[in-house]
Chain A
Amino acid sequence: MKNLKRVDIIFGAYTQEKYKVLGETLKKSSDQIISEVTDSGLKGRGGAGFPTGLKWKYTANEADPIKYVVCNADEGEPGTFKDREILTRVPRKVFSGMAICAKAIGAKKGYLYLRGEYVYMLPDLMAELELFHKCVKENNLDFEIKISMGSGAYICGEESALFESIEGKRGEPRNKPPYPTVSGLFGKPTVINNVETFVNTLMIMRLGADEFKTLGTSDSRGSKLFSVSGDTPVAGIFELELGMSLEDFVEDFGDGDTKAVQVGGASGFCVPRKKFKDTIIGFEGVPTGGSMMLFNSSRSMYNVLKNYVEFFEEESCGQCTPCRVGCQQLKLGIEAVKKGEKSATYLDTLQKLADTMKVSAKCGLGQSVANSFSSIVDNFKEEMIY
C-alpha cells in the first residue's frame, strides 16, 4: 500500500501469558477504567459511533444491582465481516473487553449475541470461554458470559431488537427512550457494544489512552478494521487509521477503474469518484462500521441500489408503517422508473419518501434506508432511468 499505513493492534501483540492484560486491568477501580476509556475518545465501532466511555459511565451510575454487558456480534451489514474475523482469531480479546466493562459498571452477567450464520464458530468459542471463566475466577471477578444465537434476522443487530431476541421474542425494536443504559436487557441497565469496540477497550488498557490517541483524528480516535470487498484486487480485512481520505483509500485498494465506493454497507453512503478527494472516512466525514464495497465502471448502480432496497424490504421487521411500506414502495418505484412505466421525475417523489422514512421510522433500519437510496439516486440518476 502506497498511501495508507497498516496498523496491527487488533490482531497483533497477543501476549504469551493468557489473559495477562485482563488480570492487570481488573486490579484497577471502576472509575479508573471508565476515565481511561473516556480519555481515549473511543467511539463505538458498530457504525453509530456513540462515545464508549460515556455509555459505560451512564450505566455505572445506575443504582440497579443487576446490570448486563452485551456484545453485539450480529454482524449483518452487507459487506462487513470483521467481527467474524475477530471472533475467529482473537476471541480472548473480546471476552476480556467484556470483563473489563463488567468490572467498570458492576455487572455479573454478560451475553454475546452471535448471528445464526456464524453458528459454526460455536465449538471454538465455547472452548475459549471455558478458559476465560477460569481466568476471571482466579482474578476474583464474579462474571459469566453466555452465548446467545441469532437466527438470520438483520434487524437483531439493532440493540433493542437484540435484547428482545435474547429474551426469546420476535426481534422487534423498542421505543427509545429509555435507552439501554437505563433499561436494556430484561429491563436492566445494560452496556451493549460491538465486538470490535470491546477489543478496543482492551487495547486502551494495554497501551494507555494517550498512546491510543496518537492514531486517528480528534473526532475519530484510534484505528479501525475495514472489510474491503467488491472490485478490488486486495479484498479482505485491513486495520487502518481513522480519518483517511477516500481518495487515498481508493488508490490503495481500487482496481484503477473505481467508479463508486459504498461506505458503511447498505445502510451507509455511496460516494462517487468525483467526491473521493473531499470525503474523509471517520465520524467527521462518512462513518462506517467497516464495510467498504468498491464498484468499477462495469457495474450498474441501478443493480446495486435494487440489491440494497430488496435487502431492506426483506429485513424490515414490519412493525412500523414508514419502513414496512416505504421499503416496498422504493423497490417498486425504481423498478417502474427503470421500465419506463413512471417518468424520471418520480425519482424525486421516491426521494421524498426516503426522507420521510428518515424522520418517521422507528429504528435505525428504516431511518438509514435514505442514506444509500439518496446517495445513489443523486449521484447516478442516469443509471436509474436508462
Chain B
Amino acid sequence: MPEIKELVKQLADKHGRNRESLLPILQGIITEEQSISDVAMSEVAEELNMSAALVYGTATFYSFLDTEPRGTYVIRICKTITCDMKGKKQMIQTIEDLLKIKVGETTKDNKFTLLETNCLGWCHKGPAMLINSTPYDSLDVNKITEIIMEYIRK
C-alpha cells in the first residue's frame, strides 16, 4: 500500500525516527486511518529501524491505538458509573437502533464503529461520548440522535 508508506514517511519526517517518535507516529496513523493495520505497523518498524514486534507490542498496549479495522467515525461511549447512572444504556440502545450495529461492531459501509470506553472526564455532564477526537456531553436521546444523523449525512 503506497499511501500508507507515504503517510508513515511523512509522520516520521515530522516526529523523528527514534523511540520517542513511535507513539506520535502511531497516533498520526490513527488520526488518518482510524486503525493501524499490520502493513502499517511493518512500515513503521522499517521506517524507524526497529522490530515489528516492538511496534506491535506498543500499539496494542493503548486502547486508542486500534489495530482492528475501524469505521471512519469511531464512537466511544463513556461507561463509567456516573455516565452509567445518567442513562448510558439508553444512549447505546439509541445508537444501536440507528446504525444497526452492536457495541464492538462496525457498520457494513465502514462508516461507524461503536465502542465503550472508560471515564472521559465529563462526569458532571453525563452521559458523554467521543466521536473520533470530539467530545459530546449532556446527551439525551434527542441530542444523540441529532448528532449521529449529522454524521450519517456527512
Residues of A within 8 A of B (CB): 75-81, 83-84, 115-120, 148-154, 165-172, 227-231, 235-237, 291, 293, 299, 303-304, 307-308, 311, 314-315, 317
A58 to B104, alpha carbons, bound, how many Å? Answer: 47
Asked whether any CB of chain A lies closer than 8 Å to the CB of B69, the reply is no
A205 to B35, alpha carbons, bound, how many Å? Answer: 46
Beyond A153-B63, A237-B124, A293-B81, whether A168 also contacts B130 by CB under 8 A is: no
A77 to B80, alpha carbons, bound, how many Å? Answer: 10
Task: Point out the residues of chain A lying under 8 angstroms from B20, CB to CB.
Answer: 166-168
Check A169 against B124 for contact (C-beta < 8 Å): no
- In the assembled complex, how far is the CB of residue A156 from the closest CB belonging to chain B, in whole angstroms? 8
Most buried by A among B61, B120, B125, B135: B61
Beyond A78-B81, A149-B23, A168-B21, whether A293 also contacts B118 by CB under 8 A is: no
Contact among B18, B27, B119, B134 for A79, CB-based, below 8 A = B119
A201 to B121, alpha carbons, bound, how many Å? Answer: 24
Check A229 against B62 for contact (C-beta < 8 Å): no
- In the assembled complex, how far is the CB of residue B43 from the closest CB belonging to chain A, in whole angstroms? 16
Task: Point out the residues of chain A lying under 8 angstroms from B23, CB to CB.
Answer: 148-149, 151, 165, 168
Task: Point out the residues of chain B lying under 8 angstroms from A166, CB to CB.
Answer: 20
A304 to B65, alpha carbons, bound, how many Å? Answer: 28
- In the assembled complex, how far is the CB of residue A308 from the closest CB belonging to chain B, in whole angstroms? 7
Check B80 against A151 for contact (C-beta < 8 Å): no
Task: Point out the residues of chain B lying under 8 angstroms from A170, CB to CB.
Answer: 57-58, 61
Task: Point out the residues of chain A lying under 8 angstroms from B123, CB to CB.
Answer: 78-81, 227, 229-230, 235, 291, 293
Asked whether any CB of chain A lies closer than 8 Å to the CB of B37, the reply is no
A112 to B40, alpha carbons, bound, how many Å? Answer: 28
Who on chain B is nearest to A154 by CB? Answer: B118
A-B contact pairs, 10 of them (CB 8 A): A78-B80, A115-B121, A119-B133, A151-B65, A167-B20, A168-B22, A171-B62, A235-B123, A235-B125, A314-B118
With A149-B23, A170-B57 given, can you name 6 additional A-B contacts, CB distance below 8 Å? Answer: A78-B119, A117-B117, A150-B62, A151-B27, A311-B118, A317-B61
Asked whether any CB of chain A lies closer than 8 Å to the CB of B154, the reply is no
Beyond A79-B82, A165-B23, A293-B81, whether A151 also contacts B64 by CB under 8 A is: yes
Asked whether any CB of chain A lies closer than 8 Å to the CB of B73, the reply is no
**8 closest A-B pairs (Cβ-Cβ)?**
A152-B64, A235-B124, A151-B62, A229-B123, A168-B22, A152-B63, A170-B61, A151-B64
Who on chain A is nearest to B135 by CB? Answer: A120
Beyond A79-B123, A117-B121, A227-B124, whether A152 also contacts B85 by CB under 8 A is: no
Who on chain A is nearest to B124 by CB? Answer: A235
Check B19 against A169 for contact (C-beta < 8 Å): yes
Beyond A76-B118, A77-B119, A149-B24, whether A311 also contacts B80 by CB under 8 A is: yes
Who on chain B is nearest to A237 by CB? Answer: B124
Task: Point out the residues of chain B lying under 8 angstroms from A167, CB to CB.
Answer: 19-20
Check A171 against B61 for contact (C-beta < 8 Å): yes
- In the assembled complex, how far is the CB of residue B132 from the closest CB belonging to chain A, in whole angstroms? 9
A169 to B56, alpha carbons, bound, how many Å? Answer: 11
Contact among A118, A168, A227 for B19, CB-based, below 8 A = A168
Check B85 against A231 for contact (C-beta < 8 Å): yes
- In the assembled complex, how far is the CB of residue A82 from the closest CB belonging to chain B, in whole angstroms? 9
Check A153 against B62 for contact (C-beta < 8 Å): yes
Contact among B57, B64, B81, B125 for A307, CB-based, below 8 A = B81
A235 to B85, alpha carbons, bound, how many Å? Answer: 13
Who on chain A is nearest to B50 by CB? Answer: A168
| CB-contacts of B1-54 with A (<8 A) | 18-24, 26-27, 30
